[in-house]
C-alpha cells in the first residue's frame, strides 16, 4: 500500500514466487534471493549469505535490497501481467506402445512404476463407472497453497485411473478423492505423506481388503485407489516435480500408495462409530477421508501393560515433524482390548490419550521458547519442569486442540466440528496379532463417494 518492499526469499523458491508475482499481476516485482536452505543452518553461514550475493543475479544482496527499496519504479517494473497458459491438445499423436510408455515416464507422468496406457477406449470404459459427464469439473489442485491451481475434469481423472489399472467400479472413489483438491505430493521441503481411508458400502462393493494385510500390497482396489491419488497429484495438480514443484529433501515412500485402506467396520467394538460417521456422514454413505502427516510406525511389541497404556506411552514419546497430531490405526483385536478397558467410543479413547500424555522435556523446551524464558526466570511451574532435565516429561499435552474451528497452528487439523483432540482412531486389519500402527497424521477432510457414482 505504497510502502517500498523487497521480499527476501531463498533461491529454491524462485519458481514459486515468480508464479505468485504473476498471479498478483506484478510479474516484475523486485525480489532478492539468498542461497537455500537457511532453516536450521549455522548462524555464521546465514551471515555469509547476507554479506554475499543474490545467487540469481550475482549482485551483492544488501545492495540489491537497498536498490530495490529506493530506486524509482520504471515502466517495466510497473507493467502488469497475468499467467496465461496455452491450450494443449487432448490427444497425443499415435506411436508404438513402447515409445509412448517411454514418453510417459520421461515426462514424469508416472510414479516410476509400470502403467496402463490411457487409450480413448480404456478411458471411455473408465467413464462408465460414473454418471458424471466427462467434461464436468471435479476440482482444483496445487503443490502447496501459494502455487497456481490446476483445474481438472472427470475425463482427466479417468485418464489417471486407467493408468494405475483401476476398474471402473473404483472410479467414484477416485473421483471423490480428486474432488477434495488435496495434493498427495505437497511441495514442502519436509516430505509430507498422505493417507486415505475408505468407509461405507463401497468397500465391499469393490472388494477392498479390510482384513489381513489391509495396509499392504495385497488388493487391487486398495493399491490402485491409493496410487491413483499420487498420479492425479502429479498430472492434474502440478505436483511432484523434484526441484520445482516438489521439494521434499528425502521424499516419502508413503507417497506411492498413500496408506490407502478401508476401515474394518465389521471389526469395530460396540459403540465405536466408523470414521465417516464420526465426521458427520450417514453410516449408509460411502466416504473417503483424507489425512496428512509425515511418518507412520508399525508397533510390533508385546507388553504386559494393557494396550491403551502402551499406546499412551508411545504417543507421549513419539516424535516426528508433526508433533501435535496423531492418527492411530488399530487392529480390530487391539480396538476390542482398548474398548474393554472402559473406552466406549473412539472419542473417549482419544480424550484419554490427549489428557494423559505429556511432552518430552527436550521437545517441549525446543518448541516453547516463551515458556523456556519464564522457566529460566524462575517462573513456576516452568522452572520446576526445567529443573527435571530434558529427559523428563513435561505435563503438557500435545494433542489437545487449543484453537477454534480453523485450528491454531501449522499442522492443526480440521474436523468441521468441535473436536477437543487432534487424535484420530481408525480400525483395520485381520486380527492375526495385537499390533497396531500410528503416525503424525491429521484429518484433512472427507468426501462422499456416492456423489460421484
Partner 1 sequence: MKNRMVLPMLGLLLLLAALSPSPVIAQENSSAHPAALNTRVRSMIELGSVYTNIYDIAITVVETVRGPAAMDRLKAAYPDTKTPPPGFEYALARVKFEFKGRYVSDTIPFDLGSDPLQWVALSSELTEYPRVSVQAPKPALAGRIKPGDSLEGWVAFAVSAKDSKPVMVFDPDTGGATGRGRTLFFKLYQ
The yes or no reply on residue 146 touching partner 1 (CB under 8 A) is yes
- Contacts of residue 111, defined as CB under 8 A and 6 or more positions apart, other chains included, come to 227, 230, 231, 234, 255, 256
Q: CA-CA distance, 123 to 229, in Å (whole number)?
A: 17
Q: CA-CA distance, 280 to 197, in Å (whole number)?
A: 15
Per-residue contact string for residues 277-306; x = within reach of partner 1 by CB under 8 A: --xxx--------x-x--------------
Among 33, 49, 150, 246, binds partner 1 (CB under 8 A): 150
113-142 binders of partner 1 (CB under 8 A): 117-121, 123, 135-137, 139-140, 142
Per-residue contact string for residues 31-70; x = within reach of partner 1 by CB under 8 A: ----------------------------------------
Q: Name the one residue in this structure whose C-alpha cell is 494396550.
A: 307
Among 48, 66, 71, 80, binds partner 1 (CB under 8 A): 80
In angstroms, how far is CA 349 from the centroid of its own chain?
24
In angstroms, how far is CA 135 from the centroid of its own chain?
27
Per-residue contact string for residues 151-170; x = within reach of partner 1 by CB under 8 A: xxx-xx--xx----------
Q: Name the one residue in this structure whose C-alpha cell is 456422514.
A: 281
Q: Name the one residue in this structure whose C-alpha cell is 520421461.
A: 106
SS3 442: strand
Secondary structure (DSSP) of 278-310: HTT--TTS-EEEEEEES-EEEE----SS-HHHH
Among 415, 422, 428, 434, binds partner 1 (CB under 8 A): 415
Q: Are 356 and 312 in contact (CB under 8 A)?
A: yes
Per-residue contact string for residues 432-451; x = within reach of partner 1 by CB under 8 A: ----------xxxxxxx--x
The dihedral over CA atoms of 242, 246, 250, 253, expressed in degrees to the nearest 10, equals: -100
The yes or no reply on residue 413 touching partner 1 (CB under 8 A) is yes
393-412 binders of partner 1 (CB under 8 A): 405-407, 409-412
CB of 11 to partner 1, least distance (A): 22
The yes or no reply on residue 72 touching partner 1 (CB under 8 A) is no
Q: CA-CA distance, 81 to 59, in Å (whole number)?
A: 25
- Contacts of residue 383, defined as CB under 8 A and 6 or more positions apart, other chains included, come to 374, 375, 376, 377
CB of 277 to partner 1, least distance (A): 11
16-35 binders of partner 1 (CB under 8 A): 20, 23, 25
CB of 216 to partner 1, least distance (A): 26
Which is closer to partner 1, CB of 131 or CB of 303? 131
Which is closer to partner 1, CB of 31 or CB of 182? 182
Other beta carbons less than 10 A from residue 140's beta carbon? 14
Q: Name the one residue in this structure whose C-alpha cell is 524462485.
A: 14
Among 78, 302, 304, 369, binds partner 1 (CB under 8 A): 78
236-265 binders of partner 1 (CB under 8 A): 236, 238
Amino acid at each position: 500500500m505504497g510502502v517500498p518492499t523487497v521480499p527476501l526469499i531463498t533461491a529454491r523458491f524462485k519458481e514459486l514466487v515468480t508464479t505468485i508475482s504473476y498471479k498478483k499481476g506484478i510479474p516484475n516485482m523486485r525480489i532478492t534471493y539468498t542461497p537455500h536452505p537457511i532453516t536450521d543452518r549455522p548462524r555464521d553461514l546465514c551471515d555469509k549469505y547476507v554479506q554475499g550475493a543474490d545467487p540469481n543475479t550475482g549482485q551483492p544482496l544488501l545492495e540489491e535490497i537497498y536498490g530495490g527499496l529506493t530506486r524509482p519504479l520504471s515502466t517495466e517494473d510497473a507493467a502488469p501481467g497475468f499467467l496465461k497458459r496455452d491450450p494443449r491438445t487432448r490427444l497425443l499423436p499415435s506411436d508404438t506402445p513402447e515409445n509412448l510408455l517411454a514418453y510417459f515416464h520421461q515426462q514424469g507422468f508416472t510414479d516410476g512404476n509400470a502403467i496402463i496406457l490411457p487409450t480413448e477406449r480404456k478411458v471411455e470404459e473408465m467413464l462408465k463407472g460414473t454418471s458424471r459427464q466427462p467434461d464436468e469439473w471435479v476440482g482444483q489442485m496445487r503443490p502447496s497453497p501459494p502455487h497456481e491451481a490446476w483445474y481438472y475434469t472427470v475425463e482427466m481423472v479417468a485418464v489417471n485411473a486407467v493408468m494405475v489399472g483401476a476398474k471402473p467400479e473404483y472410479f467414484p472413489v477416485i473421483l471423490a478423492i480428486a474432488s477434495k483438491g488435496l495434493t498427495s505430493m505437497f511441495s514442502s521441503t519436509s516430505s509430507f505423506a498422505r493417507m486415505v481411508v475408505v468407509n461405507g458400502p463401497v468397500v465391499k462393493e469393490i472388494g477392498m481388503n479390510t482384513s489381513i494385510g489391509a495396509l499392504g500390497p495385497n488388493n487391487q482396489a486398495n493399491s490402485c485407489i491409493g496410487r491413483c491419488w499420487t498420479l492425479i497429484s502429479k498430472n492434474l495438480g502440478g505436483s511432484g516435480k523434484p526441484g520445482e514443484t516438489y521439494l521434499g529433501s528425502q521424499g516419502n515412500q508413503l507417497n506411492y500408495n498413500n496408506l490407502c485402506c478401508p476401515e474394518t467396520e465389521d471389526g469395530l467394538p460396540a459403540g465405536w462409530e466408523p470414521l465417516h460417521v464420526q465426521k458427520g456422514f450417514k453410516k449408509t454413505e460411502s466416504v473417503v477421508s483424507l489425512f496428512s502427516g509425515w511418518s507412520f510406525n508399525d508397533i510390533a511389541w508385546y507388553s504386559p501393560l494393557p494396550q491403551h497404556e502402551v499406546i499412551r506411552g508411545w504417543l507421549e514419546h513419539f516424535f516426528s515433524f508433526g508433533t501435535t497430531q496423531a492418527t492411530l490405526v488399530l487392529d480390530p483385536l487391539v480396538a476390542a482390548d482398548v474398548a474393554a478397558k472402559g473406552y466406549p467410543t473412539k472419542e473417549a479413547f482419544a480424550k484419554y490419550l490427549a489428557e494423559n500424555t505429556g511432552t518430552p522435556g527436550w521437545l517441549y523446551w525446543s518448541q516453547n521458547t516463551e515458556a523456556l524464558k519464564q522457566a529460566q526466570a524462575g517462573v513456576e511451574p516452568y522452572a520446576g519442569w526445567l529443573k527435571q532435565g530434558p529427559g523428563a516429561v513435561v505435563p503438557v499435552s500435545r494433542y489437545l486442540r487449543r484453537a477454534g474451528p480453523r485450528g491454531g497452528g501449522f499442522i492443526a487439523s480440521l474436523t468441521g466440528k468441535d473436536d477437543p483432540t487432534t487424535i484420530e482412531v481408525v480400525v483395520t486389519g485381520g486380527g492375526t496379532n495385537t499390533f497396531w500402527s500410528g503416525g503424525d497424521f491429521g484429518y484433512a477432510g472427507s468426501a462422499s463417494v456416492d456423489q460421484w457414482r
